[in-house]
Amino acid sequence: QQQVKQSPQSLIVQKGGISIINCAYENTAFDYFPWYQQFPGKGPALLIAIRPDVSEKKEGRFTISFNKSAKQFSLHIMDSQPGDSATYFCAARNTGGFKTIFGAGTRLFVKA
């Protein structure tokens, strides 16, 4: 069974701090790695995504770091804000595949 393992399950960060969420995968055929953000009562929404030909992608305060040899990727949220409090899902999809595999999610709480 293809899996994407995500950690931690929950995370509490002080306002202004750095939030780090990690994911690991097994299937080397995965070639697209998105992160989704979900607020309570809403559907997930794409936050940022990376393909394995680059090791890092940054969009504003959000950065994905990708380590192809270790089969790991992580989301860094710089200068975390209370408005970032949400559940974050990492995911992976393989070349030509219809299906995206999601991690179990991380509940982030940013303390004001």
Partner 1 sequence: DAGITQSPRHKVTETGTPVTLRCHQTENHRYMYWYRQDPGHGLRLIHYSYGVKDTDKGEVSDGYSVSRSKTEDFLLTLESATSSQTSVYFCASREPSTDTQYFGPGTRLTVL
Please report, as ranges, the residues that interact with partner 1 according to CB under 8 A.
1, 6, 9, 32, 34, 36, 41-46, 49, 89, 93, 98-100, 102-105
Taking the complex as a whole, the smallest distance from the CB of residue 48 to partner 1 amounts, in Å, to: 11
Name the strand (E) or helix (H) holding 72: strand 72-77
Cα separation, 102 vs 93, whole angstroms: 9
How far apart are CB 42 and partner 1 at their closest, in Å? 6
**How many of the other CB atoms lie within 10 Å of CB of 76?**
16
d(CA 75, CA 4): 14
Q: Of the two residues 15 and 51, which places its CB atom closer to partner 1 in the complex?
A: 51
Q: Considering the complex, state which of residue 6 and residue 74 has its C-beta at the smaller distance from partner 1.
A: 6
Cβ 67 to partner 1 shortest distance, Å: 21
From the CB of 105, what's the least distance to partner 1, in Å? 5
